[in-house]
Structure 1
Amino acid sequence: MVAARETTLQELLEGTKQYRVPLYQRTYSWDRKQLARLWEDVVQLAEDRVGHPNATHFIGSVVLAPSPGNGPTGVQDFLVVDGQQRLTTLTLLLCAVRDHRAATEKNSRHRDRINDRYLINTYSPEPHRLKIVPTQADAAAYRACIDSTPQAGGADPVGAAYRYFAAQLVRVDDPDDELDIERIENAVISGLALVSVTTHHGDNAHRIFESLNNTGLRLTQGDLLRNYLFMRMPTRGEQVYHSLWLPLQDQLSRENLELLFWLDLVQRDARIKQTEIYAGQQARLDRFHSEAEIEEEVARFSRLGALLRLILDPSLEPDVSVRSRLIRLREWGSTTVSPLLLHLLDRREAGTASSEEIASAMLYVESFFVRRLLIGRATANLNRILLSIVTEMPGDLPVDQAVHKYLSAGRKHYASDDEVRRSLRTLPYYLNGRPNQRSLILRWLEETYDSKEPVDLTTLTIEHVLPQTSTEDWQAMVSEDLKPGENYEDVHKSLMHTLGNLTLTGYNAKLSNSAFGVKRKLLATSGLAMNQEIAQNERWGPVEIQNRADSLAERISKAWPAPLADAGEDSGTAWGLMNTVLAELPAGTWTTYGDLAAIIGSHPVAVGTRLASVKAPNAHRVLQTGGNVSPGFKWTEPDRDDDPRELLRAEGVEFDSFGRASEAQRINLEELAQLVELEPVDPSTTLEPTADQGVLKQRFIEQLKVHHSAEVAVATLRLLDSWSEMGGRPEFGTGRNETSCFLLSREKTEAGGNIWPATLYPSGKFEVVFQHLRIRAPFDQLALRDELRQRLNQAPGVSIAAAKIGLRPGFPLAVLADPAAQKVVLETLVWFHTQARAGLNGQGTVPAGPLTTR
């Protein structure tokens, strides 16, 4: 017998209560995608409650089993049968809110208030002190967040969730709005609705848990809606099914039918989520009473379905300009633009917009996408903006002008020409947005040259003219332009990923790290006008890179329309991004002023000055390039003079006898980009199987030989052969604009989906893909991922810090040339493959063997 009732987080947590996660529950496992969805819901709810204070948002259920020892007084004890991931996440969000408010607001009582009401049973002894007690594996990381110790926000999933929310709070905190964070706290505490299901004494809680987690083939929301529609047509149902529904069903898959019903709803209410399709459509259709009205709705769905087909397959569109714009937006890959596209096509069919107007409207959207990426704001609030455009754009203007005006208004990061020009000079373009979007902009830029020579741009990859890996030749050339106080490493880092230094070629392996004289000859013979333009330079240093950035900015301003003149500048973006990056830095790591400056498009001196004068999260984790505390470091708190190294040591950073932080614990430029997801892509999406693996393998080998000595190349290929012999499969694909090799241990069609421990890049990196593994069983278990790290660390030349276990760290391929190192790496791969395959035979993971230390 169970009792169910709707409740709030406030009601669950207030009072002297404790919720224990039983041992049979899995460890904490929410990833960034789930955290982002919860955060978006909370922010939207906080905004909704400004006008409707009683608005709520349902986020699911929790199933609780009361402890047999509960009495009329003392701590009320419950087992969390289901919903522990949700409860743990919400209290971590409250920890982040608590710490943010305590750090940024004058009211010093926020910490005690939130602790006492929602996180801690203040006056209870230690076993009952925490209101939420996670599984033993998560206990230390969770307690660190609750107690705000230096270890809070580590690399484990609990720490990652805390850091994610801390960074988001930094991102949304508007200094001109004193109540924005308070509204978020109130939305979490009293606006999120849950259903609390409480079992009675004698119920088998473990059996309830198993039944709740059994899955089977379920009806989609589209299936439910179809059944509802035809239930409403008792006499006309069969005829309507054959004449309207069946043709619609033949045109669209089950998933796309469901998409159609959501697109229809979201044009009326941008807040409708794809999980609410059936409920939303049913509520709308309940207003119709006659069978004829329902039939009209099915006919309308049929008509919209034909328009959706044009969006999914633009080749069916007869108008050349509209077809071109549909193709380009489809290539861009943002699905949340679909409601607007459906609206535009529907307007044309209704006769209220012409093909010319809707093509123009789509160009404004494309310009909006391109310019946001160029200033490093590719994804900021993008979904909300696009989903709201249909309901919020002006209704008294031609549709293209209405779209342009809506996108230009407010802080939507539709970058002006001046913003684009500034960003092209400084921001690391290569680390922003999705890889296909970065390549697309370069391809579209090449098309603006109107070259008469046909070139298949889709086969080309991005080339760094000033290479990512330094050589003596390049260092000498760049050093000629250094200004007083500048050093080569920081200047190289600040320039190499900017758009002015990037182009498209099919010769990445040949160009590689070659001197500019070699590259210049190859670029001069290219069929691309932009490469011929680069080849006109006699040298390639900071001056030439900046000049090209300015030239591309002019070309961009002509190709993609700017926002209307009254659009606000995106001021403060650099420092806001810096604070977000710093908030995401795991405990036990550090970064440099140069890396931080490069990722925000600033200068190391400016970053140092800012951190010394304006409070920022984790500013003590920013060190000089060698790992030393800057002589100019000072706390922003006037009464604080403690040594930042002592705090860093408490957090887990190791220092040598010269006071230098461990290089293995440094988060470099690329890893900073991974932390804040400037490239918001699951690493698995870079694995794109192709029919011609033989050609790709040959390219991989060629690139390997270009970059490395014969000894390193032979050692790498020997490792691939050994991987095949043990039952794995090398899969060659594209990644980082070179031919990469994924060590596949399990195929996509097998139980659990595809999985691989590492990706090899011929330019020189053996990349351990912890970020991919965290959502792939059995390596979604932190303990297994950490054992993989420890096993690899036994190899000479390998040192992967524990704090990087949520990223994609690695070691040089050159390490494999050492027989002792290759032996350890191969033994580790055998262990990994055994673990990954064990579940396919109905077995559990293989018990961990003893680990020795070097």
Structure 2
Amino acid sequence: MDVQETRLQQVLEGQKQYRVPLYQRPYSWSIKQLDRLWADLTDLAAQRVEASQATHFTGSLVLSLGQIGPGGSEFLVVDGQQRLTTLSVLVAALRDHYLETELENPAKVARLEESYLIDRFKTGDARLKLLPTQADRPAFRAIIDRNVASATASGLTEAYRFFRAKLRQADDPDDPHDIDRLESAALNGLVFVSITAKNEDNVYRIFESLNNTGLKLTQGDLLRNYLFMRLNQRGEEIYDSWWLPMQRALSPADLEALFWIDLVWRDPAVKQGDIYTMQVERMRHLAEDQIVDEVKRFSHLAQLMELIRNPSREPDPAVRRGLQRNATWGLSATDALVLHLLRVRADGGSTNEETAQALHLVESFIIRRLIVGASPSPLSRILYRAPEEIGDTDVATSLHRYFSTGRKFFATDAQIADAVISKPFYYQGRPNQRKTLLAWLEEATPVAWRQRELMAKEQVDVERTTIEHIMPQTLSHAWRDALAGDLGPSETVDELHEELLHTLANLTLSGYNSELSNRSYAEKRDLLASSGLRMNGEIASRPSWTRRDILDRGAVLATRVASTWAAPIAETDISDSGVSWKLVVDLVDAIPTGRWASYGDIAAVAGTHPVPLGQFLASAPIPNAYRVLQAAGTVSPGFDWGDNAHAGRDVVEVLEEEGIEFDDAMRASQDQRMLVSELGEMIGLSVRSDTEPSDEEEEADRAAFINEFATRHTPSAVHGIVELLNAWEGLGGHLSYGSGQEVSCFLQAGRGPNRPKNIWPLVIYPYGSVEVVFQHLSTRPPFDEPELREELRMRLNEISGIDLGGDSIGKRPSFDTDILADRLARDQLVEVLTWFMSELGRFDAEFTEAT
């Protein structure tokens, strides 16, 4: 290779053309990258006023020398095409700015155009100094030919308009040389390391080695690049005819999902991170004609994938309805199965009717599992294995049999009838799925109950409604009096309240949430009666809302579910699918000194009912069980110390010593009660109600955390924190934020096939501390192994400024956030986190292989 430092002027001038090969992704720079480049450029222009030789390193430019002839040299751009394309657009914007503002100086325009944009002695695409990849050529030609107004919208035209706007803003009428300085900084101050490969070098090997980390290109990008490197001279034809339509129809994420699904059909355990490696291994020995067939096959599948993402394109009404409801539900784990069903139909293996039946079975299976609170952990695995199990014929019958056999927890009608009055539906599944189920139940409600729709405030729009508790979460005196007349023997109002509060039978959809609140049933009834929702009219037809009414409505809903969604072929047993008593133990153990939780809230997080929960706590030796009280803050009459160290003492007295405040009626302070979201947060579960934050609210949480941090720390420390958070998300982790007075940030890694509990290595506090949660990790595989926690400690201690003691792997030690202001220390910490994620991946892979 020939390696040298070069400037943009040297790159573009002379008889050279830079061709972006087909295996490169289209132009993808956004405003974020453009802003950064412009800031660098303006800073450099200012520096060069005092130091005319100042430069700014722009990155590497990896080229492969192609044809050399009398007309000049051709180079393939192996790496750096985004920068080179952007800077060419900048030169075009400079040219057009001069054309607009310096009519008296046409030489400037001609110099930029003929030296850096085109070769005036050539025609067609051969005249262009830079020839982008196929998808970008029309927009680039329009920019070079000064015809942007007629160009279709693209990232390139957006970049051109960005630079034109910036140049107008930067052009000071009182400074005749400001734009000249920017031009000089761009052409002579931006420095590349230019690496030119010799002819015999394997260009794609260079490209692969530069981008195979997945940090620069997606797995889908890399696979596309591999395919077109294999196609040689046929690349242009195949790209135009087959690949480009597919790339236009699907987003990059959907294309990547398509390539992954193609592997899942062969091996349901394959990971998305293995797309490139596994597909290349599969196609490594194929001939060129077979590679062409693979591209065509992917293109046909992309047309079917587009139906999943845009069901309105499906011509058959029944299939279209199934696809629309699947899209509304929003569970990506169904994609592989649904695409398989569409593929079988396209190949002639099933009819529209059979496909619609199969889609209805997928919906029924998922809905019934949600209602009974079946664990979501195995659902993806069940759905991924379905295509392999059901085959390519008689798909509806085969799928029904597959869902109905084994331990898949396809709930029966009897189990549905029990779940709607006993399971805490308000905390099951995702908020949008709970609302969607209620909306679909609304559709199934008899038309006879429809109220005056044209006069109603609300329509059935899941996005604009919230889930309303009919019996409210906070009981007023009127509600207590109403419920008191329907109690069982020795039962209290609070026990009845906890028993039925979050059940499906006590929930509805409403746009009146703030108006309804905890009003009396008589007041709520009037509002519900005027609702445009049929189910609310049905509720309002009842004169009261007591236990009897809730149970009656539960029976109605159970019948509606049974008639709307298909049941399994035979009775199945899901009795062990709901409650993890180990989870209950973790929850109770997590209640800290000075706090208490209710039986109902513990039950809601664990997915059970307060009654069996109370029975379990009475029989299991859990040290913190005395911190679980009735909803009103009173000690359960049946509480038994068992073998607890406090046995024989008064529970209230013990809790008061721990800081719990009680009133004269022996009720613990509600201010010290741990709510459902806090309990989940303590053990790493994301348990949220219908009020779960939207993406915008999560962004607000992030901003609140960073802003709070910024008020106490230096800009470099703030920059360090932001870079760390971005790096964690780049590793596949996600961020969650605490709800206390100070917004803490949890670096969460999620769950795995044998890791039902969330896991996180660090918590960052805005006052300036990064907590290493060894104590938390000690209960979560694979870091429940002391050796791994010790290795984590040792790796962290290699970072300058971190010194965690040898006895800390069972504790929660911390280090100062100021350490992250140092780039080297931050990079070292990211390396440790990369290792942490790789250990999780290794553990998950071993478990998958073992099962």
1:373-397 Cα shifts (integer Å, max 9, x gaps): 111126131111111111123x486
Deviation, structure 1 residue 484: 2.3
- The one-letter amino acid paired with 1:274 is Q
Structure 1 match to 2:580:
577
Q: How many residues align?
A: 531
- The one-letter amino acid paired with 1:784 is Y
Cα 1:471–1:551, aligned 2, differ >3 Å: closer, same or farther? Answer: same
Secondary structure at the residue paired with 2:640?
A: coil
Matched, 1:445 2:451: no
Do the aligned residues in 2 keep the contact of 1:653 with 1:662 (CA within 8 Å)? no
Q: What is the alpha-carbon distance in structure 2 between the residues aligned to residue 400 and residue 756 of structure 1? A: 41
Structure 2 match to 1:784:
765
Q: What is the alpha-carbon distance in structure 2 between the residues aligned to residue 661 and residue 514 of structure 1? A: 25
Q: What is the alpha-carbon distance in structure 1 between the residues aligned to residue 736 and residue 609 of structure 2? A: 38
Cα 1:580–1:680, aligned 2, differ >3 Å: closer, same or farther? Answer: same
Q: What is the alpha-carbon distance in structure 2 between the residues aligned to residue 564 and residue 481 of structure 1? A: 38
Q: What is the alpha-carbon distance in structure 2 between the residues aligned to residue 600 and residue 649 of structure 1? A: 28
Deviation, structure 1 residue 674: 5.2
Do the aligned residues in 1 keep the contact of 2:219 with 2:276 (CA within 8 Å)? yes
Match of 1:591 among 571, 591, 597: 597
- The one-letter amino acid paired with 2:230 is R
Secondary structure at the residue paired with 2:467?
A: strand
1:512-543 Cα shifts (integer Å, max 9, x gaps): 22111111111112121111111111111111
Do the aligned residues in 2 keep the contact of 1:593 with 1:604 (CA within 8 Å)? yes
Matched, 1:407 2:393: no
Structure 1 match to 2:315:
318
1:141-178 Cα shifts (integer Å, max 9, x gaps): xxxxxxxxxxxxxxxxxxxxxxxxxxxxxxxxxxxxxx
Aligned pairs for 1:28-47 (under 5 A) are none
Q: What is the alpha-carbon distance in structure 2 between the residues aligned to residue 368 and residue 598 of structure 1? A: 22
Do the aligned residues in 2 keep the contact of 1:500 with 1:546 (CA within 8 Å)? yes
Cα 1:250–1:439, aligned 2, differ >3 Å: closer, same or farther? Answer: same
Secondary structure at the residue paired with 1:234?
A: helix
Do the aligned residues in 2 keep the contact of 1:407 with 1:414 (CA within 8 Å)? yes
Matched, 1:365 2:365: no
- The one-letter amino acid paired with 1:293 is Q
TM-score normalised to the size of structure 2?
0.54
- The one-letter amino acid paired with 1:782 is V
Match of 1:263 among 261, 264, 272: 261
Matched, 1:507 2:512: yes
Matched, 1:419 2:380: no
Cα 1:785–1:571, aligned 2, differ >3 Å: closer, same or farther? Answer: farther
Structure 2 match to 1:519:
524
1:257-283 Cα shifts (integer Å, max 9, x gaps): 211110111011101100000111112
Aligned pairs for 1:87-236 (under 5 A) are 218-236=216-234
Cα 1:657–1:363, aligned 2, differ >3 Å: closer, same or farther? Answer: closer
Aligned pairs for 1:685-700 (under 5 A) are 686-689=693-696
Aligned pairs for 1:335-734 (under 5 A) are 335-377=332-374, 379-393=376-390, 395=391, 398-449=394-445, 451=447, 453=453, 455-458=459-462, 459-566=464-571, 568-574=572-578, 576-584=579-587, 585-586=589-590, 588=592, 590-597=596-603, 604=610, 606-613=612-619, 622-623=628-629, 626=633, 632-635=639-642, 643=647, 654-655=658-659, 666-672=673-679, 686-689=693-696
1:240-266 Cα shifts (integer Å, max 9, x gaps): 222212222222232222111101110
Do the aligned residues in 2 keep the contact of 1:469 with 1:513 (CA within 8 Å)? yes
Cα 1:631–1:519, aligned 2, differ >3 Å: closer, same or farther? Answer: closer
Cα 1:684–1:374, aligned 2, differ >3 Å: closer, same or farther? Answer: closer
Q: What is the alpha-carbon distance in structure 2 between the residues aligned to residue 318 and residue 264 of structure 1? A: 25
Cα 1:440–1:416, aligned 2, differ >3 Å: closer, same or farther? Answer: same
Secondary structure at the residue paired with 2:616?
A: helix
1:44-81 Cα shifts (integer Å, max 9, x gaps): xxxxxxxxxxxxxxxxxxxxxxxxxxxxxxxxxxxxxx
Q: What is the alpha-carbon distance in structure 2 between the residues aligned to residue 543 and residue 786 of structure 1? A: 52
Cα 1:787–1:603, aligned 2, differ >3 Å: closer, same or farther? Answer: same
Q: What is the alpha-carbon distance in structure 2 between the residues aligned to residue 332 and residue 786 of structure 1? A: 40
Cα 1:336–1:305, aligned 2, differ >3 Å: closer, same or farther? Answer: same
- The one-letter amino acid paired with 1:382 is L
Q: What is the alpha-carbon distance in structure 2 between the residues aligned to residue 609 and residue 380 of structure 1? A: 26
Deviation, structure 1 residue 330: 1.1
Q: What is the alpha-carbon distance in structure 1 between the residues aligned to residue 553 and residue 651 of structure 2? A: 44
Deviation, structure 1 residue 371: 0.9
Structure 2 match to 1:276:
274
Q: What is the alpha-carbon distance in structure 1 between the residues aligned to residue 825 and residue 514 of structure 2? A: 43
Deviation, structure 1 residue 686: 2.2
Deviation, structure 1 residue 310: 0.9
- The one-letter amino acid paired with 1:237 is G
TM-score normalised to the size of structure 1?
0.54
Do the aligned residues in 2 keep the contact of 1:465 with 1:501 (CA within 8 Å)? yes
Structure 1 vs Structure 2 CA RMSD? 4.9
Cα 1:656–1:471, aligned 2, differ >3 Å: closer, same or farther? Answer: closer
Deviation, structure 1 residue 332: 0.9
Q: What is the alpha-carbon distance in structure 2 between the residues aligned to residue 758 and residue 673 of structure 1? A: 11
Cα 1:594–1:237, aligned 2, differ >3 Å: closer, same or farther? Answer: closer
- The one-letter amino acid paired with 1:581 is V
Cα 1:597–1:392, aligned 2, differ >3 Å: closer, same or farther? Answer: same
- The one-letter amino acid paired with 1:347 is V
- The one-letter amino acid paired with 2:262 is D
1:756-780 Cα shifts (integer Å, max 9, x gaps): 9788xxxxxx9876477879xxx99
Secondary structure at the residue paired with 1:514?
A: coil
Structure 1 match to 2:325:
328
Do the aligned residues in 2 keep the contact of 1:462 with 1:503 (CA within 8 Å)? yes
For structure 1, the residue ranges without an aligned partner over 5 or more in a row are 1-211, 691-719, 728-744, 760-765, 791-801, 804-834, 846-854
Cα 1:519–1:338, aligned 2, differ >3 Å: closer, same or farther? Answer: same
Q: What is the alpha-carbon distance in structure 1 between the residues aligned to residue 553 and residue 689 of structure 2? A: 32
Deviation, structure 1 residue 460: 2.1
For structure 2, the residue ranges without an aligned partner over 5 or more in a row are 1-209, 698-703, 712-720, 750-759, 777-815, 827-851
Deviation, structure 1 residue 493: 2.0
Q: What is the alpha-carbon distance in structure 1 between the residues aligned to residue 612 and residue 519 of structure 2? A: 33
Q: What is the alpha-carbon distance in structure 1 between the residues aligned to residue 499 and residue 689 of structure 2? A: 26
Do the aligned residues in 2 keep the contact of 1:426 with 1:494 (CA within 8 Å)? yes
Q: What is the alpha-carbon distance in structure 2 between the residues aligned to residue 388 and residue 323 of structure 1? A: 24
Q: What is the alpha-carbon distance in structure 2 between the residues aligned to residue 752 and residue 285 of structure 1? A: 33
Q: What is the alpha-carbon distance in structure 2 between the residues aligned to residue 448 and residue 494 of structure 1? A: 26
Cα 1:546–1:657, aligned 2, differ >3 Å: closer, same or farther? Answer: closer
Structure 1 match to 2:294:
297
Q: What is the alpha-carbon distance in structure 2 between the residues aligned to residue 355 and residue 677 of structure 1? A: 44
Q: What is the alpha-carbon distance in structure 1 between the residues aligned to residue 648 and residue 237 of structure 2? A: 77
Secondary structure at the residue paired with 2:580?
A: helix
Do the aligned residues in 2 keep the contact of 1:267 with 1:390 (CA within 8 Å)? yes
Identity between Structure 1 and Structure 2 (%): 39
Q: What is the alpha-carbon distance in structure 2 between the residues aligned to residue 368 and residue 788 of structure 1? A: 46
